[in-house]
Amino acid sequence: MEAQCQHRVAFDCTPQPTACFPDWMAGLPDALPLSCLSVPGTHDSLSLFGGRRLRCQSWELEAQLAAGIRFLDVRCKLVRGELQVYHLCTFQRASLRGVLRRTLRFLHAHPSEAVLMRIKEELPIFSRPGFAAQLRRCLLEEGQGHVWCQEEVPTLGQVRGKIVVLEALAQEVLGIPYEQLSISDAWNVLSLERKWARAQRHLERVASGDTTTMHLTFCSGNGVFTCPEEVARFVNPRCYQHLQHRRGQPVCWGVVIMDFPGAGLIQLIVESNSLHASGHITASPSNLPTTPQHYHGREDRYHIPTAPPQQRGQVPHPHSTAAAERTGTTSPQHRRGREDRYHIPTAPPRQRGQVPHPHSTAAAERTG
């Protein structure tokens, strides 16, 4: 019976979540870097179609955000000049423009929150030449001045009410460089036990590691002899048990990325941030696991950037030129000025393929 209960709170493939954490970042201090947060996320966040082999989530985007999800994994293809959301070759009935609008609508209603969004080109044998340009255009036109497109990891105060872009483009700088983060993404699953062992090792490394580096642990996977739902049914309860074991301790789990997450698993990740909270982080549903005690004494370990927030990402809301740019009436010089206001850099592109950040484990984890 206990195992069945753990399974229910860790795994959920129903259409509506029982978790409800729409404002869980509200009690956290502005000076807290995002790399010091425990963040629940979803893998292939818009993958609701394609059958058992491809379906990774059962909740619509708005339901995920209301449940407390703050990392979105968005895979796009350039189709007839627009970025459409795909999982492998299956269209997910959404566009990147729509995803940005829906996410910003949520953030407008919940301005204390910030959403990390990994934007990836899906299945490129060779990257489409127009992908980066179209991504830049989408961020300019749909971002409404509420998109963080700089390379450094911001503090929470710098990005409340904003989307924080993570990207791995070859020649552009449109967000935090994904390949320089600490990542465990053993997505090709041949053994469920080995999949969980890898994720568990990375979670432990994150818990005892450098909080100036952003860590991402993918608990999701797929394979020839399995599917995303089967992997989630196996891994999610074990992840729940692992986090439950450390409940009440001062620990940062980084970004924990899941398929079909359950309410209890989301709650454990969210509540591990209560060390930093000025107020309690509580769940609305009464049937969720008990709220852990609040703990203290780790703030001095965090690296807090000293630059004032307004110098590193605070941007005015651009009402004055939006309509003119959509109709093409502004000059190129005017457009360049507006790009600066959106903080999409116009400096020469960095050289991708450099040696990753010294704390990065991405290469090792991807190759096993």
- pLDDT tens digits, one per residue of 102-155: 999 999 999 999 999 999 999 876 777 899 999 999 999 999 899 999 999 999
* Helix or strand run (H / E) with residue 61: helix 61-67
Three-class SS state of 218:
strand
Which of 37-41, 144-148, 181-185, 290-294 is the least confident region? 290-294
Cα-Cα end-to-end distance for the chain: 35
**Residue given tokens 């989530």 in the structure block:** 57
**Rounded Cα distance, 215 and 253, in Å:** 8
Q: How many CA atoms lie within 13 A of 100 on its CB side?
A: 23
Give the model's confidence band at 249: pLDDT under 50 very low, under 70 low, under 90 confident, else very high: confident
- Indicate whether 285 pLDDT > 70: no
Three-class SS state of 245:
helix
Give the model's confidence band at 246: pLDDT under 50 very low, under 70 low, under 90 confident, else very high: very high
Which of 86-100, 294-308, 314-328 is the least confident region? 294-308
| Residues sharing a CB contact under 8 Å with residue 71, sequence separation 6 or more, in sequence order | 39, 40, 41, 42, 115, 116, 117, 118, 216, 255, 257
**Rounded Cα distance, 205 and 145, in Å:** 36
Q: What percent of the chain has pLDDT over 90?
A: 66
- Furthest-apart CA pair in the chain: how many Å? 67
Q: Are 71 and 42 in contact (CB under 8 A)?
A: yes
Strands 90-95 and 82-87: antiparallel
Supply the pLDDT for residue 278: 54
| Residues sharing a CB contact under 8 Å with residue 156, sequence separation 6 or more, in sequence order | 25, 28, 29, 30, 31, 32, 33, 34, 37, 114
DSSP code of residue 123? S
Please write the tens of the pLDDT for every residue from 302-322. Answer: 333 333 433 334 433 433 333
Type of residue numbered 137: R
**Rounded Cα distance, 277 and 270, in Å:** 11
- Residues for the chain: how many in total? 368
**Rounded Cα distance, 128 and 122, in Å:** 10
Strands 215-218 and 182-184: parallel
Supply the pLDDT for residue 128: 77
Supply the pLDDT for residue 2: 56
Other C-beta atoms lying within 10 Å of the C-beta of residue 306: 6
Supply the pLDDT for residue 243: 97
Dihedral sign from CA coordinates of 341, 46, 169, 98: negative
Q: Give the residue from 32, 71, 273 showing the smallest Cα distance to 157.
A: 32
**Rounded Cα distance, 315 and 324, in Å:** 19
Three-class SS state of 176:
strand
Three-class SS state of 166:
strand
Q: pTM for the full model?
A: 0.77
Three-class SS state of 12:
coil
* Tokens matching residue 250: 């001062």
Dihedral sign from CA coordinates of 9, 12, 15, 19: positive
